[in-house]
Every structure is written in structure tokens, then in C-alpha cells.
Amino acid sequence: MKFTFAPESRPLDGFTIKRAIARGGFGEVYYALTDSGKEVAIKLLQDNLEVELRGVSQCLNLKHPNLVTLFDIKQDGEGDHWIVMEFVGGKTLDRVVHENPNGLPLDEVLAWLDGIAAGIGFLHDRGIVHRDLKPANIFRENGIVKVGDVGLSKFIAPSRRSAHTQSVGTVYYMAPEVAKGRYGREVDVYSLAVILYELLTGKVPFDGETTAEILMKHLTERPNLAPISPNLRQVLEIALEKDPERRTSDVLELARQFRAAATQQVASEDLKTDDKVLGAESSPDFHEIHAERLWICAQLRELLDKARELETAADRDRAWSQKQPHIEELVKQAREIRTKAFNRDNRLWDYSAEGTFASVLTVADKFHKLASPRLPILDYADTQPYEKPAAAKPAPQRPSMFPNPKRPASRWEKACYTTGRSVSGLLSLWQRHPLLLIGAAVAILIWTMPRGVSANVMSAGRGMSFLWVVFGVVVTIELFRGVSRGVDWLFLPERSSSTESHGRSTGHGHQQPHQQWRAESSSRLHAAAFRAVNPNTVREISWRRRITELSGSLATAGLATALVTAVLAYVTQFFGSTALVGQFAAGTLLGSWGLLIVSKLREGLPRERYIDRMLLAGVGVLVGVALFQLDGWLLIDLPTDGWSQKQSLLAMTSTSLSGNPQHILAESYVAFFATLFFFRRWWWHTDSFRAHRFRVLSVCLTAIVGALAARAWGFPVLWGTVWAASLSSVVQLAAVWTPREQRR
Amino acid sequence: MLSFLRHSPVVSRPTTQGAMSAIWIDGVGCFWLSQKDRVTIGGPGAPSAKPDDERETADLAILSDLKQRHATIVRNGEGYLLEAHGTARVAGRDVLERAALNDGAMIELGRSVRLRFRQPSALSLSARLDFVSDHRPTQSVDGVVLLADTCLLGSGDENHVVCHDWLGQILLVRQGAELWCRSRQALTINGHRLGSGRRLQSGDVVSGEDSRFRIEIPN
């Protein structure tokens, strides 16, 4: 929506426009403050018809709580007229209807109706017809309904309607006789009836594509009253009569009829629910039973009152045992009443009788407890026969690793078993790390408490999340070990014997040459030999194996990324907002995947160092572009200092720095990742023949390269460093590693 | 608070209190933004003798029978707490010292003031206070945004400032003490095109295709 006047403009002396409120059929409405701070709504009259001004002037001194008060009419320097009126906050009825597309509850409808009817009734009493009653004109602030645009309605005959001032919104509520230029107060009755229809159902009775279509429907079509409940149907039917003569004559009369019908409806609904509970309203003795029920309740209540009196007296005199017979007597009476009621008709005993009865019993219980002397507490401990612990049973024989020891297990079986055992081993983790489990239990406890039972518990909970991290690391390592062992089984060559532990088999004549080598390697190898088998070793790796290992690594990288991000998010205050967490995780994941994919596809091939580096740098470019896109999509800003950006290579070589020093350029993203990926030998992180599964030194070195790259390209240094370090960690954790003695 | 009693009635009278910024949005309303980690809520208090005495009144001074400082909303790294200095209830429970505020919690202060605490966006720590009872500061305000990192303006319920008829979304991002404006749609600030984002200064008018608002930032 475009408005003529800008905020803070002062078309009228003494009034400062703060914002536009809406555009109505008669002009733009603004919220303005007077110089002393009074808030008002001011409305610009678009064309100054004399007749309009007269209409408003008529209403200028009308006072009613349900009408928006007019303060003044003023003329600005250009001769335009402004109406100064009361500012009403709160929702318009229009908005309320919008929020309740299936109609409002009946009591809400009645609340609105009363206010509207009172306001319009007052206007009619003063001889004024509103003529433009519609939900957009009706407000409710502080529970008071107010009708606006009083005296403003033009003579809205369609023939005189101009496209600019006539909004379609008005036509929905326009009485048919308006087309003939007739404006009695029945016009307002009709509009109010349309509004009531809309409030009840959420839809206007006559809708259409064009103004003409809607007008035609108003003139000819009968409203569909099927969605309206039967009691109200008749009221609305008369109020929506096409002929003003036959229509309900007055808004107050409409409101009265509507309210009467509505209460009748509510009453009949109540009766219906009652009927459901009893299931016997139609039976002739219904009223008799009802009376009987009341009588029973009254009797019980009397008994309860007596019991309470006794209780107070006993409490005062400490005479619980003396008064006990009295209360027993009361309970007896109550029981008699109940038995009688059930004998006559079980419908006589209802919920409230049961409740009162239970209360009497509760009081009696109290007497019983306090009157009887306290019984000595029996100590059963001595009477328990002492049972000697059974002699330690011999530990059950561990079942053989595989069900049929005669048949050598297949690799799949071994792989599944090893993986499965490590997973089940997790369940017995507490045996190995009891403290960890206790800590975890406490952490879970605190975690699941409603957030912030008190601030202290909350901060304790944050401390505990550290335990979670430790727990997570252990679990991940265990899982990883299990899975990698399982994977090992898959890729180790089939063995002739069914030996369970790998790495100890002896070579056999029928093994292939490289298996022979592997068998030899099971004994200790020279350091020189280790060195000879490094990521640069050329070897043959099948595509199938590459892809299998790669997919495993990619999945693990996901886990590791989540872990690293969680550590950063919970243990440190590294991230300022949730969006930054997402950006960080996405960067780490994409980067590590890129690195893992390139390295795995190049693994074992003759090492062309610069080809590898260029490939990695290319991946870095892609990652940078992706992250820049994500940055834009999440609309985030990495926390940075303007200084490092101004001093960066980019700033020196290009003039494309935007006016916003906080915003990381696409160039920065791309250059940072390309540099980081180019200057590290990532295959030493990812190759299955790397020296160590996880090398902290590599992480540190990468972090330094990250810091330098970030510094050079105007990327946030802290983020660069942390991103590099986490990439290195994730990649090392995720990549497959072959123990030295198994390398071949 | 009651600043018009102290200032001569001139045009550039501040419309907000203390350190609150205000955004006036066409067709939507007026929202206040607070960047402080601790926001005090209280009654209007007596007009102070000293013209610039901001210590006495609360950050959010509501015309009500509350104590001068009735409660404080505190933002820590994880969420929001309400510290009660007078009678207060959060989500129907009496608050003795402090209580955590979760999205949708009803804050009842004193006898009749009711505010609803909303944290509409999962992507942002920022929160919003809605006025439920009819108590307001001296002028009508539609909500108070407790700005942690970002403030989202748009048509959906996930926005801090819900602007029903808007097509696009506008972000106010906090950069230290500064406020930046960003959006995916083409915006102009005071008639100049907004690039990837710009710092907002007091009095800036931000306009989009179907939206316009003005911001007032206290110095």
C-alpha cells in the first residue's frame, strides 16, 4: 500500500504524522501526534464535496461510547480538508473475521452486536443513517466496540460511484435499495445483518467476482441461510429482506431479536446435553427424579456440614476419640441414604451426591486416624529369613562367535557381528565408565526439567552439557571403532581358517601375493616399511570399494559435524544466533564432503600433487559459492571486525567492497575456501594409509592455515580458524583408516 | 515518561522511552525495540523534578498501578527470565524471585497488567511482548521487541513484527550497538536504494514495494 504522506510530515499545523493506518473508501487515514503528544487519527478527504463536509459537521458534536469521536475538521495549506478524530487502537472487526475463517463463537458475536447496535441505534435516534457500516469500520479497544466513519458516507449510489473512491469491500454490505437511491435506516439494518451472517459463518452471504455481480445478487438472490443455526435463521431472514418495508425496522430491534434467539439456542443446547447425561428427559418421571435428586443432595450436604462441625469441635478440644461415635453415626446415615437411592433408582445418585458422600467419608477417616492410638511399627526385617547368596554360578559359556562353528563364517557375518557387538557394547558402557553414566543420568535429569526451574539449575545444566559432550565423544568413538572393524571384515580377503581375530592368520600357499604380504606384515615391520606405505603409495582400489568406503565416510562426517557443532554451540559462546549455527554446520559438512569425495576418488592413484591441489581448490570454490548463497538466504552476518577486511588483499585489489563492512563478500568466501583447500595436503587427512587415524597436529596446522587464509581474504579470522580446525577434525574422524599391519 | 511535561512542546519530541527505538509501520502499528539485556517494567511513577532523570522510571513504563520497577526481563545466553520485584505471575504461577519465560507465557504483573511473551522465530533469540490487558505506555504501542540478534518483519506468524499484508520480509540485524536493515526484496532508505544492507539511523524511512516504516533511535 502506498500512501501520500511520509512519516514525520506535517500537512496540518500542530499535527505530526507518524504512520499511515489504512486507506478507506473516503481517503487515507494516518496516525498522528499533536505537538503535546495526544494521539489522533487524521483523515484526508479526497474530494471536498460540500455535501460531505456538511455530513461530517452534523456529527461533529455527537457523543456516544460506541462511536468514534470526531474532534475537528481542518483545512491544510492546499485547501484540502482533514478530519481529526479519536485514535482507536485494537483490531478491526475485519481482522477478527479474517482470523476466524469459520465464524466467531456466539458470545463474541453478541459482544460485537451489542456495541454496534448501541452506536448505530444512537445515530438513528439522532436522525442520522450511517450508510457505510462494514467490518473495516468497526473497532474494539479495551472491550468497547466503536463504529467509525460516522457522517462520512457519500451517497453511494452505484451510478455515482467512481472507481477510485468506491472499494469493493463496501458492496458486500450494501442494501439493495441503495441502488435506487433510497437511504432509510433499514440500510444499516441490512448491513448489520450481513455482518452478523459473516460473523457466524466467516463468509458474506453474497460474494462474486465483480462489483456488478455482487450488486445483482443483493438485488435478486436469496441468501443461503443453511449454515446458520435454525433459531437465528428466521431473525436473519427478516433482516436480510430485499424490501425495506418488510425488513426488521430498527437495529436495536434486530439486536434484541438476535439475542433472544441466541439465548434460546443456548438454552436448548444445554437441555440437550442434560438429556444425554440422563437419557431420560422424555420419560414421564423425569422431573420427579430431578426433584428427588436435589433432595438427596440436600440431605447429604446437611450430613457433611454436621461432620465438619464435629471436626472443628474435636480439633479444638483435642477430643477425637470422644466424638468418634457421632461421626460413625453420620457415616451410617449417609450410607443409608445411598442404599435407599440405589434401591429406588440408580439415576438418583449423581456426581454431586457421590462427591458429598466422599467428603463425609474423608472427615470420618480423619477421626479414625486421630482417635486410634498409634500402632507400633512392625519391624519385619528380623523376621525375614536370611537367605544366603547362591554360590556364584560358573559364568555361562560365551556362545561361539558364529552359530555353526563347523562352517567358516562369511565376511558379511563377521562384519555384522563385529559391528553389532560394538553397538551392544555401548549398552554395557557403564561397566567401563560408571562415572560417565552417573553424570549422564544427572545431566538427563536436569535437561528434562522444565527449563529454568530456577536460574541456578539452569546454569548447572549448562555445566552438565559438558558431560554430554564427553559422553557423545565416547559413544562416537565406540561406534566408529565397531563400524570400522566391521568394515574391515568386509574388505579383508576371505580367509581359509575360521580364526576369529583378524590380523593373526598365517599365510597359506593359495593366497594371492598381496595377501601374502599382508600376512608377513602381521609380524613387526620396520619403520622404513611403514613409511613406504603411505598415502602416496600407488595401489589398486576397486570402484565398488571406493564408493562403499566413501558413503560410509560421508555419513560419519555428518555425525562428526553435528558433534563438533554441538560442542561449539553448547560449551562455548561461539555462535551469536541459531542461524550462525546452521551456517557453520553447513560449511563444515559441505567442506568435509568435498574433501572426502576428492580424496577418495584420487586415493591410490599416482599422486600428481598439483592436480590434487587444484581439484581441492576447485571444490573449495564450490563450497565458497554454496556458503555465500546460504549466507544470503539465511540473511546472516558472520561476526567480523571491519579492520581485517579493510586490510585484506581483496580490499587492496578491488574496489568492490560494499558499503556494509559487516557483509562478507562472495569473493571472500570463495577465496578463503579455495586457499584453505589448496594449501593443505588434505589427502594426508583422509587417505586410509595415513600415519595416524587422528592427528591433532594436523588440526593445529590446518587451523593456522585457516587463520592466514581468512586474514588474507578479509574473512572473519576467528571463523576461518575454527572452520579449518573443525574441517580437519571431521575429515579425519570420518575417513577410513587401515591399521598399518593390514596395509597391503 | 511523561516527557511532554518536561519538554517544551516542540516538534521533535521523543516518542519513546529511555533506550527504546521505535518503528512506525504503515498499516501495521508502532513497535518498540529494546537492545538491552535487562529490560525493566514498571508503572509511570511520579513526574520527576529533574528533567533527565532516567534512573527512576522503568525501561517499559506502563500506565498502570505497578511499582516503579516491578519486574525485569533478563536475557541470558539461552533464553529469557523474569525477575520479579513486585507481585508477578508467569504462566499462572506466582514468581517468587525469577521464572523462565517460554514462548506463549502469560506474564501477569500487579493486579491487572497482562503481557504475553512470544519468541516466534526458531532462528532468532529475539522475543516480543504483546499487550494483552489494555494497559499501555503513554502512547499506544502494539508490541515491544526484545532484540537479541535479529528482528523479522513480515506477514507470517514466525515474524517478530507481523505485518499482515506484506509480501516480502525485512530483517533488522543488530551489529553491536548499531541496527542494520536487510532484505531480499528491493528496498529504498530515504529514497536511496538499499544494497546488501545498510545501517539504520534515526529518522530513516525504509520503503519496499508494499511496505514502509520509519525508525526512531534514541541517541
A259 and A170 assigned to the same domain: yes
Beta-bridge partners for A76? none
> Do A684 and A716 fall within a single domain?
yes
Closest chain A CA to residue B200 = A660
B residues 71-110 closer than 8 Å to A (CB): 76-79, 81, 97-100, 102
What are the boundaries of each domain within chain B?
Answer: 16-216
SS (H, E, C) A404-424: CCCCCCCHHHHHHHHHHHHHH
Mean pLDDT of all residues belonging to chain A: 75
List the single residue in B13, B26, B97 with the smallest CB-CB distance to A20: B26
- The answer to whether B10 touches A34, Cβ cutoff 8 Å, is no
Q: Which element (helix H / strand E) includes A621? A: helix A609-634
Of A318, A352, A371, which residue constitutes the final position of a domain?
A371
Both A65 and A128 in one domain: the answer is no
Give the nearest partner residue to A452 out of B10, B81, B210, using CB atoms.
Answer: B81
Residues A736 and A643 both lie in one domain: yes
Largest CA distance in chain A: 117
| A595 and A568 in a common domain | yes
Under the banding of pLDDT at 50, 70 and 90, the label for residue A193 is very high
Q: CB contact, 8 Å: A465 with chain B? A: no
Both A691 and A725 in one domain: the answer is yes
Which tens digit of pLDDT belongs to each residue from A289-305?
Answer: 666 777 787 888 888 88
Higher pLDDT, A320 or A514: A320
Residues 36-75 of B with CB under 8 A from A: none
In a domain, A389, yes or no: no
Reported pTM: 0.54
Answer yes or no: is pLDDT of A503 > 50.
no
> Cell 565406540 appears where?
A478
- Chain A hits for B4, Cβ within 8 Å: 36-37
Residue numbers of A between 54 and 113 with CB closer than 8 Å to B: 87, 89, 95, 98
Whether the Cβ atoms of residue A214 and residue A172 lie closer than 8 Å to each other = yes
- Is the confidence at residue B22, as pLDDT, over 50? yes
Q: Which three cell numbers stand for residue A293?
A: 435428586
Average pLDDT over residues B131-138: 88
- Considering only A335-344, A701-710, A726-735, which range has the smallest mean pLDDT? A335-344
Q: How far apart are CA B88 and CA B90, in angstroms?
A: 7
pLDDT of residue B152 exceeding 50: yes
Rg (CA), chain A: 42
If one compares A270 and B170, the residue with the highest pLDDT of the two is B170
- By C-alpha distance, the chain A residue nearest B139 is A39
Instruction: Give A17 or A26, the one with higher predicted confidence.
Output: A17
Cβ contact, residue pair B150, A18, below 8 Å? no
The answer to whether A572 faces chain B, any CB pair under 8 Å, is no
Q: Which three three-digit cell numbers place residue A306?
A: 454436621
The burial of A535, by beta-carbon neighbours within 10 Å (0-12 exposed, 13-18 middle, 19 or more buried), is given as: buried
| A31 compared with A520, residue with greater pLDDT | A31
Q: Are residues A144 and A291 in the same domain?
A: no
pLDDT digits (tens, 9 = 90+) for A595-628: 999 888 888 888 777 888 889 999 999 999 998 8
Question: Which is nearest to B172 in space by CA: B149, B156, B195, B155?
Answer: B149
Q: What mean pLDDT do residues A422-444 have? A: 57
| Amino acid, single-letter form, for residue A37 | G
Q: Are strands B143-146 and B29-34 parallel, antiparallel or unpaired?
A: parallel
Pairing outcome for strands B38-42 and B150-154: unpaired
Rounded to 10 degrees, the C-alpha dihedral B11/B17/B21/B27 comes to -70
Average pLDDT of the segment spanning A162-172: 52
Q: How far apart are CA B168 and CA B184, in angstroms?
A: 8
What is the average pLDDT value for chain B, to the nearest integer? 83
Looking at the fold, whether A116 and A262 belong to one and the same domain comes out as: yes
Q: How far is it, in rounded angstroms, from Cα B17 to Cα A56?
A: 36
Q: How many domains does chain A have?
A: 4
Q: Encode burial over B121-142: b for 16+ CB neighbours within 10 A, e otherwise.
A: bebbbbbbbebeebbebbbbbb
In A, which residues are within 8 Å of B13 by CB distance? 35, 37
- Shortest Cα–Cα distance, A466 to chain B (Å): 15
Residue A734 has pLDDT above 50, yes or no: yes
Query: Nearest CA to CA, how far is B54 from chain A (Å)?
Result: 19
The one-letter amino acid at A689: F
Higher pLDDT, A557 or A507: A557
| A391 Rama sector, left if φ>0, alpha if ψ -120 to 50, beta otherwise | beta
Residue A580 neighbours by CB distance under 10 Å:
20
The residue among B145, B112, B147, B106 whose CA lies nearest residue B129 is: B145
Report percent pLDDT > 90 for chain A. Answer: 16
The whole-angstrom separation of Cα A22 and Cα A30 is 7
Amino acid at B30: C
Task: Give the whole-angstrom CA distance, residue A699 versus residue A726.
Answer: 8
pLDDT for B16: 55
Residue A158 shares a structural domain with residue A252: yes
Is A131 contained in some domain? yes
Please check whether residues A252 and A350 belong to one and the same domain: no
The residue written with cell numbers 585457516 in the block is A706
Q: Point out the domain boundary residue: A57, A86, A115.
A: A86
**Same domain (yes/no): A57, A98:** no
Q: How confident is the model at residue B84 (pLDDT cuts 50, 70, 90)?
A: very high
Please determine, for residue A119, whether its predicted confidence score (pLDDT) is greater than 90: yes
| pLDDT interval class at A744 (50, 70, 90) | low
Instruction: Judge whether A474 lies within some domain.
Output: no
Q: How many CB atoms lie within 10 A of CB A298?
A: 11
DSSP β-bridge partners for residue B189: B192, B206
Higher pLDDT, A17 or A346: A17
Residue A211 lies in a domain: yes
Burial of A601 (0-12, 13-18, 19+ CB in 10 A): middle
pLDDT for A429? 55
Instruction: Answer yes or no: do A35 and A155 share one domain.
Output: no
Q: Does the beta carbon of B214 lie under 8 angstroms from any beta carbon of chain A?
A: yes
Range of the domain at A74: 15-86
Number of Cβ pairs < 8 A linking chain A and chain B: 129
Render pLDDT for B36-49 as a digit per residue (tens, 0 to 9): 899 999 988 766 55
Residue A604 lies in a domain: yes
Q: Is residue A382 part of a domain?
A: no
Give the best residue of A638, A660, A665, A669 to mutate against chain B (max B CB count within 10 A): A660
User: Which CATH number does B16-216 carry?
Assistant: 2.60.200.20
- What is the predicted ipTM? 0.81
Separation in Å, CA of B107 to nearest CA in chain A? 16
Q: Output phi, psi for B162, to 5 deg.
A: -85, 115
Q: Is residue A658 part of a domain?
A: yes
A151 by DSSP, 3-state: which? coil
- Is A622 in a helix, a strand, or coil? helix
Residue A665 lies in a domain: yes
pLDDT in tens, B96-127: 888 999 999 999 999 889 999 999 988 888 99
SS3 per-residue string spanning chain B:
CCHHHCCCCCCCCCCCCCCCEEEEECCCEEEEEECCCEEEEECCCCCCCCCCCCCCCCCEECCCCCCCCCEEEEECCCCEEEEECCCEEECCEECCCEEEECCCCEEEECCCEEEEEECCCCCCCCEEEEECCCCCCCCCCCEEEECCCEEEEECCCCCCEECCCCCCCEEEEEECCEEEEEECCCCEECCEECCCCEECCCCCEEECCCCEEEEECCC
3-state DSSP call for residue A576?
Answer: coil
Query: Residue B218: pLDDT above 80?
Result: yes
Q: Which region holds residue B78: left if phi is over 0, alpha if psi is between -120 and 50, else beta? A: alpha
